[in-house]
Amino acid sequence: MSATRMFLDSSGSAPLTPRVTDALRAGFADGWADPNRLHAESRRARALVEGARAAVADVLGAQTEYVHFTPSVNIAFERVTAGICAARRGRDRAVVSAIERDALLDSAHHVTRGHVDLVSVDSLGHLDLAQFSSLTSDPATAVAAVQHANHEIGTVQRLADIHAITQERSVPLIVDATASIGHIEAPQDWDALVANPADWGGPAGLGVVAMRPQTRWLQAWPDGDPWAPGGISVPLALAAAVALQERVEQQQETATRLGGYVDEIRAAFDNLEEVAVVGDTNERLPHVLTAAFLYLDGEPLVTRLDREGIAVGSGSACGKETFEPSRVLEVMGALTHGNLRVGLHPGIAHEDVRRFIEVLPRVISDVKSDMGVFGS
Amino acid sequence: MSATRMFLDSSGSAPLTPRVTDALRAGFADGWADPNRLHAESRRARALVEGARAAVADVLGAQTEYVHFTPSVNIAFERVTAGICAARRGRDRAVVSAIERDALLDSAHHVTRGHVDLVSVDSLGHLDLAQFSSLTSDPATAVAAVQHANHEIGTVQRLADIHAITQERSVPLIVDATASIGHIEAPQDWDALVANPADWGGPAGLGVVAMRPQTRWLQAWPDGDPWAPGGISVPLALAAAVALQERVEQQQETATRLGGYVDEIRAAFDNLEEVAVVGDTNERLPHVLTAAFLYLDGEPLVTRLDREGIAVGSGSACGKETFEPSRVLEVMGALTHGNLRVGLHPGIAHEDVRRFIEVLPRVISDVKSDMGVFGS
């Protein structure tokens, strides 16, 4: 990457830090062997994975033997949803917040053969608790799934209230923490949790599932390993754990600093016309921000900023098609044509943010004139 | 790994070469971003994956756009079997050789709900073509699956004859080439092919699927990407392609050299009592060898050799439980209690093989006396 480039799309990926790169090097040197065999090379690989599981479990507040690496976040969702539903015979419905990631919605649809009830959110992105309570009271409810924090707008759900409802109904709650772990305190109100190492500065190509000991599930696919069919990469697991440790050590300081930058960016957007920053300004992830545009597409904004050396996101952060309009914003009732998503990683400096804020009005006005939009 | 250790279990994994390690370093420096976004970081990651696909496709004799990375070999089997069967409505049976890997058998069982016909092999491991022909003539046959070469005994199947049969019956043929690519010439007689980068010296945590343009399949799982739900690790894909290139450049020389070592090891086993080397001595992989023991378990052999600094395999190379008796040997009618599996990677030197041959009789006799077996 050229020295002048600036990566402001850290929602699901970030440049690897030297410490993570070192962990990868060590992992590939010592952890290349199949961890399921008997000899020393295999035992060494197994020890690395076990150490990584323990380190991740510690941050999640989970027990090591109930924390599993999967080959991707999507596979984590597939397996955990299918596994829990398989143990809930006679019940065939999933209750899911309407702003969940596609990967979770797809899994829920597949496992329940389409019997998915979506729960609305308010204009800040918070779950409609009354509707959630009413839908989960259906005795056919096999599972409920709610995210900890939204990957686009940053809103953090009130999981204590949500979990209290599912516990009263004895419905297992899957919490999607793929946008929050490493950024804010790990949630404790869940029966199963999914996390994404690439989102906390680890390498892509892994997912994490944590279960509570009392959460019942059955193996839904016949393969030997229910969580990692065919195994996972040991060096990636090691690096994921090291990245998490690094983030957690600096979590409070990073959140304060990046939260300040996000406030500055929000203020800059507030000064512009026909654009609104979406989501809760208090109960939120510190490092992400989405701005919704009334008349502009996201794609030319991303492309023009990219030419200025600035990488940002647009569209559904985790949608199937990168540039389909954001389903999250649609569900929230945000009046939006295109959107622009910023995700800050700890390597971002104040001067980067200042340059972004400086460049932004000109880029927006360039896109407007390209599109023939000259104000309303 | 200590300088005196010797890794003779290269069936599915091998120490990474400096060239592969360099590729990983480059991949993590330049390919950490999500390849599905619009900015420069993403485009760079995408270019690396595309280059890797093209390089692998070239070796496989496939078209780049029909070659896909998956997060593991097992997921490759799951997706390719489910995808092809979904396009064969009205047909619900799979015809599969009895010595396929568990991952393929499990997928076939799952997709067909247990309608799997197993085809026998002869005492050298070759498919019973008459039985295969008869079973695939059932009009309910959705798919056939046969391995290119066996990961334990090394026997290479006669795929031209096998493919001629499936073509006559218009049954799609999946070829499991997870043990052969990078070791011998890639097979050309297939409608779909699965390969394993870790087996050719690449990193673990990836699988490969190649399809022929005319092979019909339907997406069986709702997720966006049918082959890599949630994506794959770009650096692993790059390193996989580099590893394959390195192996292919030296393929003939390596095969000759390692084939010579395997001949020496076979001769050493032939000098011992109550042990037989299994598989075809001519139509075979050059670098693997399995010896079946009449009265000895595999586990203590592996453990004692490991203490001598020598890593070998045992049990089903790719079974669910590492130390269950080998199903492959059972199916072949080999009289076997335990077994010992050797897989040589190109870094193995003649002196390593000599040391293994020297140590072997003593280790076997130690295990015998531990077990209270003093000859028949």
d(CA A121, CA A149): 13
Nearest Cβ partner of A106 from B21, B223, B313?
A: B223
Is the pLDDT score of A216 beyond 80?
A: yes
Is the pLDDT score of A49 beyond 70?
A: yes
The position carrying tokens 């829990």 is A84
Take residue A246 and report the two structure tokens written for it.
């690094």
d(CA B104, CA B200): 19
Query: Which residues of A are less than 8 Å from B102 in CB distance?
Result: 224
Per-residue pLDDT tens digits for A235-290? 999 999 999 999 999 999 999 999 999 999 999 999 999 999 999 999 999 999 99
**Residue A245: HSE in the Cβ half-sphere, 13 Å Cα cutoff:** 16
pLDDT score, position A223: 62
If we measure between CA atoms, which residue out of A163, A181, A156, A191 comes closest to residue A59? A181
For chain B, where do the domains classified as CATH 3.40.640.10 start and end?
A: 18-248
pLDDT score, position A3: 52
**Residue B57: HSE in the Cβ half-sphere, 13 Å Cα cutoff:** 18
d(CA B245, CA B347): 16
Per-residue pLDDT tens digits for B47-97? 999 999 999 999 999 999 999 999 999 999 999 999 999 999 889 999 999
Q: What is the mean pLDDT of residues B37-42?
A: 93
If we measure between CA atoms, which residue out of A80, A59, A52, A70 comes closest to residue A215? A80
Nearest Cβ partner of B9 from A39, A234, A236?
A: A39
Confidence of residue B315 (pLDDT cuts 50, 70, 90): confident
**Interface A:B, Cβ pairs < 8 A:** 197
Per-residue pLDDT tens digits for A312-330? 998 754 444 455 667 888 8
d(CA A52, CA A228): 15
What's the one-letter identity of residue A28?
F
Q: What is the maximal distance between C-alpha atoms in chain B?
A: 71
For domain A6-14+251-371, the question of CATH label 3.90.1150.10 is answered with: yes
d(CA B332, CA B119): 11
ipTM above 0.90, yes or no: yes
Q: A5 and B313: CB-CB below 8 Å? A: no
Contacts of A8 (CB under 8 A, 6+ apart): A310, A311, A312, A342, A343, A344, A348, A352, A356
d(CA B346, CA A219): 39
Per-residue pLDDT tens digits for A173-198? 999 999 999 999 999 999 999 999 99
Q: A229 and B312: CB-CB below 8 Å? A: no
Query: What is the chain B residue with the closest CA to A18?
Result: B29
Does any CB of chain B come closer than 8 Å to the CB of residue A12? Answer: yes
Residue A168 distance to chain B (closest CA, Å): 32
Does any CB of chain A come closer than 8 Å to the CB of residue B320? Answer: yes
pTM for the model stands at 0.94
Q: What is the mean pLDDT of residues B235-263?
A: 98
Take residue B194 and report the two structure tokens written for it.
């699965």
- Give percent above pLDDT 70 in chain A: 95
Query: Which residues of A are less than 8 Å from B24 in CB distance?
Result: 24, 28
Query: Which residues of B are less than 8 Å from A109 in CB distance?
Result: 222
Interface of A with B in 92-121 (CB under 8 A): 102-103, 106-107, 109-110
Is the pLDDT score of B317 beyond 90?
A: no
Confidence of residue A5 (pLDDT cuts 50, 70, 90): very high
pLDDT score, position B320: 47
Q: What is the mean pLDDT of residues B134-141?
A: 98
Residue B161 distance to chain A (closest CA, Å): 30
Does any CB of chain B come closer than 8 Å to the CB of residue A324? Answer: no
Does any CB of chain B come closer than 8 Å to the CB of residue A40? Answer: yes
pLDDT score, position A177: 98
Contacts of B327 (CB under 8 A, 6+ apart): B99, B102, B316, B319
Residue B168 distance to chain A (closest CA, Å): 32
CA A240, A242, A243, A249 torsion: positive or negative? positive
Task: Return the higher-pLDDT residue of B370 and B134.
Answer: B134
pLDDT score, position A325: 65
Q: A102 and B224: CB-CB below 8 Å? A: yes
- Give percent above pLDDT 70 in chain B: 95
Query: Which residues of A are less than 8 Å from B313 in CB distance?
Result: 37
pLDDT score, position A242: 98
List the Cα angle A343/B236/A33 in 5-degree steps: 125
d(CA B262, CA B270): 12
Q: A75 and B230: CB-CB below 8 Å? A: yes
- Give percent above pLDDT 90 in chain B: 83
If we measure between CA atoms, which residue out of A88, A167, A24 comes closest to residue B233? A24
Does any CB of chain A come closer than 8 Å to the CB of residue B1? Answer: yes
Does any CB of chain B come closer than 8 Å to the CB of residue A259? Answer: no
Residue B34 backbone zone (phi > 0: left; psi -120 to 50: alpha; other: beta): beta
Does any CB of chain A come closer than 8 Å to the CB of residue B223? Answer: yes
For chain B, where do the domains classified as CATH 3.90.1150.10 start and end?
A: 6-14+251-371
Query: Which residues of B are less than 8 Å from A26 in CB distance?
Result: none
If we measure between CA atoms, which residue out of A75, A74, A50, A76 comes closest to residue A63? A50
Nearest Cβ partner of B110 from A222, A234, A306?
A: A222
What CATH code is assigned to A18-248? Answer: 3.40.640.10
Does any CB of chain A come closer than 8 Å to the CB of residue B205? Answer: yes
Confidence of residue A2 (pLDDT cuts 50, 70, 90): very low
If we measure between CA atoms, which residue out of A358, A341, A373 comes closest to residue A7? A341
Does an H or E element contain B119, and which? strand B116-119
Query: Which residues of B are less than 8 Å from A36 in CB distance?
Result: 322
Phi, psi of B292, rounded to the nearest 5 degrees: -100, 135
Task: Give the length of chain A.
Answer: 376
Return mean pLDDT, chain B: 93
Query: What is the chain A residue with the closest CA to B239?
Result: A28
If we measure between CA atoms, which residue out of B276, B256, B272 comes closest to residue B357? B272
Query: What is the chain B residue with the closest CA to A237?
Result: B205
Return mean pLDDT, chain A: 93
Query: Which residues of A are less than 8 Å from B340 in CB distance?
Result: none
Task: Give the length of chain B.
Answer: 376
Per-residue pLDDT tens digits for B274-285? 999 999 999 999
Per-residue pLDDT tens digits for A135-156? 999 999 999 999 999 999 999 9
